[in-house]
Structure 1
Amino acid sequence: MTPRSKRILGKSIVVTIIAIVATFGLSFTARIALQMPIDWLSWVECTFIPILIGMPVGAYIFAQSETIQDTCDKLEKSYAELKEAHDRFTFVTSHDPMTGLLSRVEFIPRMDRKRDEGECDTLLLIDPDHFSSINDKHGHSKGDETLVRIAKALVYTTRPGDSIGRLGGEEFGVLLRDVRKEQAITIAENIRRHIEGGPWVKGQQDGVRVTVSIGGAEIPSGADAEDVLRAAGRCLFDAKQRGRNLVSFTYQVARLQNIAGRKT
Structure 2
Amino acid sequence: MTPRSTRILGKSLVVTAIAVVATFGLSFTARVALQMPIDWLSWVECALIPILIGLPVSAYIFNQSETIQDTCDKLEKSHTALKEAHDRLTFVTSHDQMTGLLSRGEFIARMDRRRDEGEYDTLLLIDPDHFSSVNDEHGHSKGDETLLRIAKALIYTTRPGDSIGRLGGEEFGVLLRDVRKERAITIAENIRRHIEGFPRIKGQQNGVKVTVSIGGAEISRDGDPQDVLRVAGRCLFDAKQRGRNRVSFDHQSFRSQGLVSEARSR
Q: Into which bin does the TM-score normalised by the smaller protein fall? A: over 0.9
Q: Identify the residue that residue 220 of structure 1 maps to in structure 2.
A: 220
Partner residue, 2:111 = 111
Deviation at 1:217, TM superposition (A): 0.1
Structure 1 residue aligned with 2:230? 230
Number of the residue aligned with 1:140: 140
1:229-260 deviation per Cα after TM superposition (whole angstroms, max 9, x unaligned): 000000001101111111000139x9xxxxxx
User: Contact between 1:20 and 1:47, CA under 8 Å: does it hold in 2?
Assistant: yes
Distance 1:65 1:183 in 2: 64
Match of 1:248 in 2: 248
Q: Using the TM superposition, give the Cα deviation of residue 29 of structure 1 relative to its aligned residue in structure 2, in angstroms.
A: 1.0
2:158 paired residue number: 158
Contact 1:146 1:200 in 2 (8 A): no
Counterpart in 2 of 1:258?
none
Query: Helix, strand or coil for the counterpart of 1:214?
Result: strand
Q: Which residue of 1 aligns with 2:264?
A: none
Equivalent residues, number: 253
Tell whether the 8 Å contact from 2:138 to 2:203 is kept in structure 1 after alignment. Answer: no
RMSD of aligned C-alpha atoms? 1.3
Partner of 1:211: 211
Structure 1: distance between partners of 2:247 and 2:107: 21
- Distance in 2 (CA, whole Å) between partners of 1:251 and 1:139 is 33
Unpaired runs of 5+ residues, structure 1, are: 255-264
Query: Which stretches in structure 2 are left out of the alignment for 5+ residues?
Result: 255-266
Instruction: Write the distance in 2 (CA, Å) between the matches of 1:28 and 1:205.
Output: 104
Shift of 1:199: 2.0
CA distance in 2, matches of 1:33, 1:107: 85
**8 Å Cα contact 2:124/2:173 also seen in 1:** yes
Separation in structure 2 between the aligned mates of residue 88 and residue 19 of structure 1, nearest angstrom: 53
Q: Percent identity?
A: 84
TM-score when normalising by structure 2: 0.93
TM-score, normalised via structure 1 length: 0.94
Q: Deviations over 1:120-154 (max 9, x none)?
A: 00000000000011111211111111101100000
Aligned counterpart, 2:195: 195
Per the TM alignment, residue 203 of structure 1 is displaced from its structure 2 partner at its CA by: 5.8
Given that residues 239 and 248 in structure 2 are in contact (C-alpha distance below 8 angstroms), is that contact kept between their aligned partners in structure 1? yes
Partner of 1:102: 102
Q: Distance in 2 between the 1:117 and 1:235 partners?
A: 26
Letter in 1 for 2:207: G
Aligned-partner Cα distance in 1 for 2:88–2:146: 26
Shift of 1:200: 3.7
Counterpart of 1:251, as a letter, is H
Counterparts of 1:149 and 1:42, CA distance in 2: 89
Alignment of 1:167-206 (within 5 A): 167-202=167-202, 204-206=204-206
